Structure 1
């Protein structure tokens, strides 16, 4: 078994004492990830552009540990302003179509007023290659 701790270059990781990803064997736990470009430190002004940048950050971090969006089993999405939910979630639908992880969307304040989108990911390396048994229930 192996424990991997990945840093993304965010200055907050060292300042606040956390890793972007902690991987334990095939489990991948990703910290809350915002839409800031870690190289330029730029933060887009809109929720949808922050979501796009955050997903680039997520996909890059997953690739660095030998994984991809296909392995995501759970996502938690934070969108502080309800008026941004429809557009951002339509984009999330595009990104996760065919993957269909468990999902939670919350509209609550984030760490500062500039944060309009953040996402937390749990993945299992190799999950995307497993056979899927799709079930449906009616209440």
Structure 2
């Protein structure tokens, strides 16, 4: 068994000594991922556009370790402004429709004023291909 540590090229990964993804066997743990374009270093001005870019960043990192959004089992979303939550969550509903991971949403300041959205992912390689048993505890 080995541990795979994936870097995205973010300056902070080197400076702060962390990896974008740490993969241990089939478990994939992803660091908080912002909407900054890793190539141009541009950060969009709106929360929704940051969310869209962040999902692109997540998809690219997952693909690099043989996964996709279908393998996501947990997502943690950080949205700095409560008024942006409905729009961003509608977008997340589109992105994760049918995947239905466990989810958490927090509204609080992030690492700098330019950060309006970040996402953290836990995935399990191959989860998207498994049979699903849906249960409900609703009365």
TM superposition shift of 1:138: 1.8
TM superposition shift of 1:10: 0.6
Q: Give SS of 2:32's match.
A: strand
Q: Please give the residue correspondences for 1:42-53 in structure 2 after superposition, counting only pairs within 5 Å.
A: 42-53=42-53
Q: Which residue of 1 aligns with 2:40?
A: 40
Q: Which residue of 2 aligns with 1:70?
A: 70
- In 2: Cα distance, 1:60 partner to 1:66 partner: 10
RMSD, aligned CA: 0.6
- Cα-to-partner distance string for 1:15-53 (whole Å, 9 max, x where unaligned): 010000000000000000000001100000000000000
Q: Give SS of 2:112's match.
A: coil
4+ long deviations beyond 4 Å: none
- Cα-to-partner distance string for 1:64-113 (whole Å, 9 max, x where unaligned): 00000000000000001001000000000000000000000000110011
Ranges in structure 2 where 5+ consecutive residues have no aligned partner: none
- In 1: Cα distance, 2:138 partner to 2:103 partner: 19
Q: Which residue of 1 aligns with 2:82?
A: 82
- In 2: Cα distance, 1:28 partner to 1:138 partner: 31
When normalised by structure 2's length, the TM-score is: 0.99
Q: Which residue of 1 aligns with 2:14?
A: 14
When normalised by structure 1's length, the TM-score is: 0.99
Aligned pair 1:116/2:116, yes or no?
A: yes
- In 1: Cα distance, 2:83 partner to 2:99 partner: 26
- In 2: Cα distance, 1:81 partner to 1:131 partner: 37
